[in-house]
């Protein structure tokens, strides 16, 4: 099974192709030089030339705020690119695993969102991802759309690394405390993508739209505070994080106030094949931070 993976310079695609493949599976790593989602008309020929047996598409235009003013590119990459990928997969009779986002929801809910809940994205990024989902759904029966949330990794551009950079320079920060979600490391998403691929390889058809995040929930303020609680063991100091409201930190794109995802359909889809590995967001964060910040010193390892 030759598995083409896009977005290999990104957090999720990078984590996936760094994994060793099980017997009978190989990666075809495809950066934008091989598969350019902003050039949808080039995609069918690119897929034919690389001849995969399955495609995983974590690549996306992920600059949520910039997307508001660069909508043409966001929609080309997040809607038209996946639409072309799905058509190419349909022509070859192969499945597509499309990665999507909690930002397809408007955040007015008060219990974890299920895959079947109505979508109503608030900004251009969320809308482009939602329309990409719709294009995949309507073009290719053999698809999985995996929505995830608040992604971070030890390297890359993400909230956790921003906090580490800013917290190293400042003693006090102000962080939004009225948006709730679930931080999820790219490594854990890669594990789940690999599990779905192994299921396909074993003839277990996982299809449809599913959610995957770590367990639990927090706010950006709670996440920043947890970053510094762990970083203190490495740094010997801990910046203070003051909670502020979304209204105090205006951004070009509106974000959902609540985007916790209900993961139960994925558990059901993979039941009988493999348990979905899921850790609490706090445990996942501590592990990534310890790897990122290096060994604890004698003075700080308390």
- Name which position in 54, 56, 89, 149 contacts ligand NAP (CB under 6 A): 149
The Cα 115–Cα 280 span in angstroms is: 21
Task: Kindly report the backbone phi and psi dihedral angles of residue 189, in degrees, each rounded to the nearest multiple of 5, phi listed first.
Answer: -65, -40
The Cα 244–Cα 41 span in angstroms is: 45
When asked if residue 12 is in the footprint of ligand NAP (CB under 6 A), the reply is yes
Q: Which residue in the shown chain puts its C-beta closest to ligand NAP?
A: 10
Find the farthest-apart pair of alpha carbons in the chain and give their distance in angstroms, rounded: 61
Contact criterion met (CB below 8 Å) for 223 and 160: yes
Q: Considering beta carbons, is residue 64 or 231 the nearer one to ligand NAP? A: 64
- Name which position in 62, 128, 139, 263 contacts ligand NAP (CB under 6 A): 62
- Name which position in 37, 85, 97, 144 contacts ligand NAP (CB under 6 A): 37
Pairing state between β 240-244 and 2-6 = unpaired
When asked if residue 156 is in the footprint of ligand NAP (CB under 6 A), the reply is yes
Binding part of the chain for ligand NAP, among 96-104, 198-206, 242-250, 282-290 by CB under 6 A, reads: 96-104
Contact criterion met (CB below 8 Å) for 193 and 13: no
- Please give the order of strands across the beta sheet that includes 96-101: 26-30, 2-6, 54-57, 96-101, 143-148, 208-211
When asked if residue 10 is in the footprint of ligand NAP (CB under 6 A), the reply is yes
Write the binding mask 125 to 144 for ligand NAP: x where contact by CB under 6 A, - elsewhere: ----x---------------
CA 96-101-102 angle, 5° bins: 140
- Name which position in 43, 99, 164, 224 contacts ligand NAP (CB under 6 A): 99
Among candidate residues 89, 97, 95, 93, the one with its CA nearest the CA of residue 44? 89
Residue 20 tokens read as 């060793």
Binding part of the chain for ligand NAP, among 148-156, 200-208, 248-256, 274-282 by CB under 6 A, reads: 148-156
Q: Total number of residues binding ligand NAP (CB under 6 A)?
A: 29
Q: Considering beta carbons, is residue 151 or 276 the nearer one to ligand NAP? A: 151
Interface ranges with ligand NAP (CB under 6 A): 6-7, 9-13, 31-32, 35-38, 58-62, 77, 99, 101-102, 129, 148-151, 156, 186
């Amino acid at each position: 099974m030759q598995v083409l993976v896009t977005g290999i310079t990104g957090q999720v695609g990078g984590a996936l192709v760094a994994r060793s493949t099980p017997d009978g599976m190989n990666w075809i790593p495809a950066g934008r030089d091989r598969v350019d989602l902003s050039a949808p008309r080039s995609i069918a020929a690119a897929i034919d030339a690389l001849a995969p047996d399955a495609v995983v598409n974590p690549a996306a235009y992920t600059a949520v705020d910039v997307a508001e003013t660069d909508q043409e590119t966001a929609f080309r990459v997040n809607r038209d690119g996946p639409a072309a990928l799905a058509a190419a997969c349909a022509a070859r009779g192969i499945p597509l695993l499309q990665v999507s986002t909690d930002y397809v929801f408007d955040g007015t809910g008060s219990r974890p969102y299920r895959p079947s809940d109505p979508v109503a994205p608030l900004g251009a990024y969320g809308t482009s991802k939602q329309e990409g989902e719709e294009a995949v759904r309507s073009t290719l029966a053999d698809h999985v759309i995996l929505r995830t949330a608040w992604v971070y990794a030890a390297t890359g551009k993400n909230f956790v690394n921003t906090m580490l950079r800013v917290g190293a320079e400042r003693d006090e920060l102000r962080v939004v405390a009225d948006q709730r979600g679930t931080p999820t490391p790219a490594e854990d998403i890669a594990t789940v993508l690999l599990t779905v691929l192994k299921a396909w390889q074993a003839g277990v058809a996982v299809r449809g739209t599913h959610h995957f995040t770590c367990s639990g929930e927090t706010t950006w303020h709670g996440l920043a505070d947890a970053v510094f609680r762990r970083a203190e063991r490495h740094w010997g100091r801990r910046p203070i994080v003051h909670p502020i409201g979304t209204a105090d930190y205006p951004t070009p794109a509106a974000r959902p106030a609540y985007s916790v995802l209900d993961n139960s359909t994925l558990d059901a889809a993979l039941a009988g094949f493999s348990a979905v590995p899921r850790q609490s967001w706090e445990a996942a964060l501590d592990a990534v931070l310890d790897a990122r910040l290096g060994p604890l010193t004698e003075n700080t390892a308390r």
